[in-house]
Amino acid sequence: MKEANRKIIDAKRRILSFIKGRENSHALKVFHKYFSQENPPDPEFMINVYTELNKLDQIELGFRLLEEVAPWMPDEPEVQSLRANALKIYFDQLLARGNQLLVERDEKSNLFFDSLKRVDSMSRDKVKEENDKILLGMTQKALENFRKAYEINPDSLGAITGLYKCYKILGDETNINRFQTILEEKNPILYGKKEQEEEEKASFAAQEFDIEEFNIKEVQSLYDRNKYEELIQRVDFLHLTHKISVPLLILKAESLVSLKRFKEADKVIFEAEKQGSHLKEVRELKNQIYEIKYDLLSKAGAVYLKKALELGPSLGESHFKKAKACLKRSLEIFPDNIDLLDQLYTVLCYLKEDEEAFKTKAMIYLLNNRFIPTFDREGTNTLCFIATYAYEGKIEQIETFRWFRREFLLNSKPGRILNCFYVKHSSAFTRFARQKKVPSICFRVFLFPILMLIKFLRACLKFR
């Protein structure tokens, strides 16, 4: 007796283990080996089995097993109650899956219809054939779910309506007439009303489609003739009297972009996205806008930076700030552009925004740890053109002049005026010297006393 009990306990453990591992065939094999009408399982074990199957969404298997086992234990109220609940859950799942498949089929049908417009005529028939196979498969799966639900409860309006819809899609006239008769018998007034409403909706939809096609052609004509303002007004007027049309919104957004009114274009695109159709075209337009905005902002940033460098840190401060704003907005679109980060780092260094500059330099390092920012390269970060020409390759001396400019010249009004005069004329002077091949040692002789004086001043301040 003990040996038999031990085997039953071991069998129960194996069955539950197989179910958890989704090995249902093995679980059923062991179950039928140890349990039968003559030797039924205990109610608690059946509750555990059904609970595990339910967790793994094996609703149908759980129901079928209880259908088999419940007659073995007619006097066990727990098992009978569990069987009734399993039946309800399974029936509800069949209806839900059937309806979900029909909804998904409608969505796919719309997508296929839109995509066929973009397929060339040579491939269209083949693509349509493949699309029809997919839609047929989804309809048949939905039909199977409704058929099973109808077998469980032939009076269910949900199951009858689902079957009627599926047969209507498949064009099965025999079954269409059969289930139409059943529906009319169950609720003739409601059914007749629904049919009428469906016909009215179909007629209205056809009219709307014709109107929309005409409006799109009209608005497209305005766009082709570059009449952007007229187009925007026309679309706004049309949407006061007709439902929102995504193709018209796209044309309006493209017109706003052409007029460089990007904020308004963004709002229109947001409205188009909410409609949930033509998403591919909307995404393409968004990418196009990003590219246009990026191109304009990056070019503007480069122009402002160039002007700022020509004017120097003091007079060019407003241009540095404009360059910073343009570059930051460009980086919002393409944050991994190392050239933009390099320009922004230069701007932040001249604006003395050290914390932001450090973060930007860290971003550059993450993208490419061997990249040396322009501002940090030898001689290019100082605007000391003459010193760079004289001491080319000797960064320590160039840094000394840079320190003097930063700590003294730029901290007083006369110093800033002198620095701006130097920046404005020294670059042309050094270009002339390079063209005439003036030896750099001549400049070193001239700058040597000034260099010694600055070094002495720096040392005094260091030990003060």
Residues 315 and 335 in one domain: yes
The total domain count for the chain is: 5
Which residues are CB-contacts of 344 (< 8 A; sequence separation ≥ 6)?
Answer: 301, 324, 327, 328, 331, 360
Residues 207 and 154 in one domain: no
Residues 34 and 65 in one domain: yes
Per-residue confidence of the chain (464 residues) as pLDDT tens digits?
566 678 888 888 888 888 888 888 888 888 888 888 888 888 888 888 888 888 888 888 888 888 888 888 888 888 888 888 888 888 888 888 888 888 888 888 877 777 766 666 667 777 778 888 888 888 899 889 989 888 888 888 888 888 888 888 888 888 888 888 887 776 654 455 555 555 445 444 444 444 556 677 878 888 888 888 888 888 887 776 566 777 888 888 888 888 888 888 888 888 877 776 677 777 887 788 778 877 888 888 888 888 877 776 667 788 888 888 888 888 887 888 888 888 888 888 878 788 888 888 888 888 887 787 777 654 444 456 677 777 775 667 777 777 777 677 766 777 767 776 776 677 677 777 778 788 888 878 888 888 888 888 877 876 65
In a domain, 194, yes or no: no
Residues 181 and 208 in one domain: no
Residues 121 and 169 in one domain: yes
In a domain, 125, yes or no: yes
**Residue 81's Cα: distance from chain center in Å?**
47
State the chain's maximal CA–CA distance in angstroms.
115
In a domain, 182, yes or no: yes
Residues 247 and 301 in one domain: no
Tokens 């980060």 found at: 341
In a domain, 282, yes or no: no
Residue 382, token pair as written in the block:
């100082």
CATH for 209:
1.25.40
Residue 419, token pair as written in the block:
């620095």
In a domain, 196, yes or no: no
In a domain, 68, yes or no: yes
Residues 339 and 308 in one domain: yes
In a domain, 112, yes or no: yes
From 160, 186, 212, the end of a domain falls on 186
* pTM for this predicted structure: 0.41
In a domain, 284, yes or no: no
Element (H, E) at 387: helix 385-390
Residues 103 and 131 in one domain: yes
Give the span between the Cα atoms of 87 and 84, in whole angstroms.
5
Residues 298 and 365 in one domain: yes
Give which of 420, 453, 433 is closest to 390, Cα–Cα: 433
Give the span between the Cα atoms of 25 and 36, in whole angstroms.
17
Q: Which domain holds residue 429?
A: 385-462
